[in-house]
Amino acid sequence: MKVKQKLEADGLMAATRTDLRNAQRETWSDVGLEWHRTMKAEKFTKAGAAKHNFTPRRGDYGSGVPFKGSYTQAKILRRRNGQGVRSIGENRPNVWSGQSRSQAMASNKVTAKAKSFDQGSVDIHINAPALNFKNPKSKVHPSKEVTSVNQPQLSTLEGFAGKRFESHITSARRKKTFTS
C-alpha cells in the first residue's frame, strides 16, 4: 500500500533565491532609509558628538587648546572661515554656516545591493560637499563622523533589519507543495 503525503510550505521555506535576493535588497534599502530618518540628525548635535566620541574641536572641552582664538570662538562670534562663509553662530559639530547640515538633512538617497541571496549591502549618500572638506592641520574628518555608526545603533539597525526582512519574505506570498 502506497501512501501519498502532501506538505505545504510558505514564507521562508517556500522562497526562491530570487525572492530572498529581492527581500534582502528591499531590507537593506529600508535600513538605509531608517538610518537617514532616525540617526542622521543627532550627528549635528553636541549630545551626538559626545555619544559618538567625535574629535573635540579647538576650544572645546578636551581639545587642549584655549578658547581664545579657537574654532569654537570664531563660530560663536560669527567670523568668516577660509572660504569667506559666515558662521551662523552655533557651536555644534559639523555645522559652520548651516549649509552642510541643511544639505545633509535634505538628502535621503540610498543604494541597496544584493550580490546573492545571502549577501547584501547599502550605500548611504549624503549630498553635502562641505563635509568632504578636511583641514590638513586637523584630525577631524567631518564626512567620517557623520556616516559613522556605533554599537548601540548597529544593534538597533540589526533588529529593524530582521523585522523588515521577515515582512518582505512573507509579502512574497509564495506557497510550495511537496509530495512524496
Determine whether 8 is exposed, middle or buried from the number of CB atoms within 10 Å of its CB (0-12, 13-18, 19+): exposed
pLDDT greater than 80 at residue 121: yes
pLDDT in tens, 81-98: 555 665 555 556 666 666
86-90, 97-101, 125-129: which has the highest mean pLDDT?
Answer: 125-129
* Cell matching residue 54: 567625535
Q: Report helix, strand and coil shares of the chain as percent, to nearest 5.
A: 45, 15, 40
Question: What would the mean pLDDT of 127-137 be, rounded to a whole number?
Answer: 77
Q: What are phi and psi of 41, to 5 degrees?
A: -65, -35
pLDDT in tens, 5-39: 655 666 666 777 888 888 889 999 999 999 999 88
Query: What is residue 43's three-state secondary structure?
Result: helix
C-alpha neighbours within 13 Å on the C-beta side of residue 95? 20
Please give the Cα distance from 180 to 172 (Å, whole number).
25
